[in-house]
Structure 1
Amino acid sequence: MIEIERFKENEIGTWGRLYFGDFTCYTFEPVGADEVRSGLDRRVPAGGYNMRWHNSPRFKRRLPHIYNKQVPQARYILIHSGNLPEHTEGCILLGFNYDARGVWNSRAALDEFMARLRAMYKDDLSPVTLEIINNF
């Protein structure tokens, strides 16, 4: 299981910590309120999510895609690299550092997270669950 514990929100976004075994990094998501509909650049509700691989034409790589009964696959919530609010588009950004503007060292954090996912789950992410917890 992967866990994201959200710990801070303000007028530009939502910060959290991602835990996956002994791997930890920071997350950055859009500002609230939680939203299940597409195209609104808002964070998803806290709760449990399934994961699958998605071949992203935009990022030109395979990325983790989260969904559940409330948040349909068609919303395309991905875990990807980026730093600032304008990079989220409703998705979850990873970084090894954070400040009041977003997360940093994002590509390195995503690459390490992806390497660990691929090593454990190869081509099938269906056994993986993601739990998002609000702690603010």
Structure 2
Amino acid sequence: MKSVLQVLRKQQGKNSTLSEIYLNNQFICYGLEDIPRPKKIAGSTSIPVGIYPLGFNKDGGMNGNYYDRFPKLHRGMIEIKSIPGFSYVYIHIGNTHKETAGCLLVGTGYLLEKEDYRLVQSVTAYKKLYGMLVEMMEKGEVFIEVTSEGVTQ
């Protein structure tokens, strides 16, 4: 069974990109990334538009921190794999573009503050999305599709 997580970019702030996230066409939460850049700046560039497989990464300090924080839920960091020129790109908790490190943050809502987007209730959104993704990933392949509607590339 193949499932698709859709990241539809909707708005761009000065340093942030806001998206809506759908799982098999059902709205789940909002997403936040850095802005797109013509030339990648490590830890400060959004994920390129495209379709990528998701997988578990069970290495590194972030994995240990999430396991300690969510021992009954955590099975490994959900990594967005096979992004040309990118590595260790995760879906994780955070509120502002300063916390993305080039990854995708999730939240139940958002605010616009000082020309940038900020997510709210990131832990709530993460736990909901993570649980759904783990269940689907255990049954088969899951892909993420990143598209831009309201954001220039």
TM-score, normalised via structure 2 length:
0.77
Verify: 1:30 aligned to 2:31, yes or no: no
- Percent of matched pairs sharing the same residue: 21
Give how far 1:87 is off: 0.5
Aligned residues: 131
> Aligned partners of 1:80, 1:51: CA distance in 2, in Å?
13
Matching residue of 1:117: 133
Partner of 2:78: 64
The TM-score normalised by the length of structure 1 is 0.85
Residue 88 (str. 1) matches residue 100 (str. 2): yes
1:1-136 → structure 2 map (5 Å cutoff):
1-21=4-24, 22-33=26-37, 39-55=42-58, 56-59=60-63, 60-61=65-66, 62-68=76-82, 70-72=84-86, 75-100=87-112, 101-122=117-138, 127-136=141-150
Deviation at 1:68, TM superposition (A): 2.3
User: Is residue 50–residue 66 contact of structure 1 (8 Å, CA) maintained in 2?
Assistant: yes
Determine which structure has greater relative contact order: mean sequence separation of CA pairs < 8 Å that are 6+ residues apart, divided by chain length: 2
Q: Name the Cα RMSD after superposition.
A: 2.0
Three-state SS of the structure 2 residue aligned to 1:53 is strand
Based on CA coordinates, which of the two structures has the bigger radius of gyration? 2
**Would the aligned equivalents of 1:36 and 1:45 in 2 still touch at CA under 8 Å?**
no
| Cα pair 1:34 1:43 within 8 Å, conserved | no
The C-alpha deviation readout for 1:13-64, integer Å capped at 9, x for no partner, is 0000110133510000012216557x24211111111111112422523221
Q: What's the secondary structure of 1:24's corresponding residue?
A: strand
Q: How far apart, CA to CA, are the structure 2 residues paired with 1:34 and 1:52?
A: 27
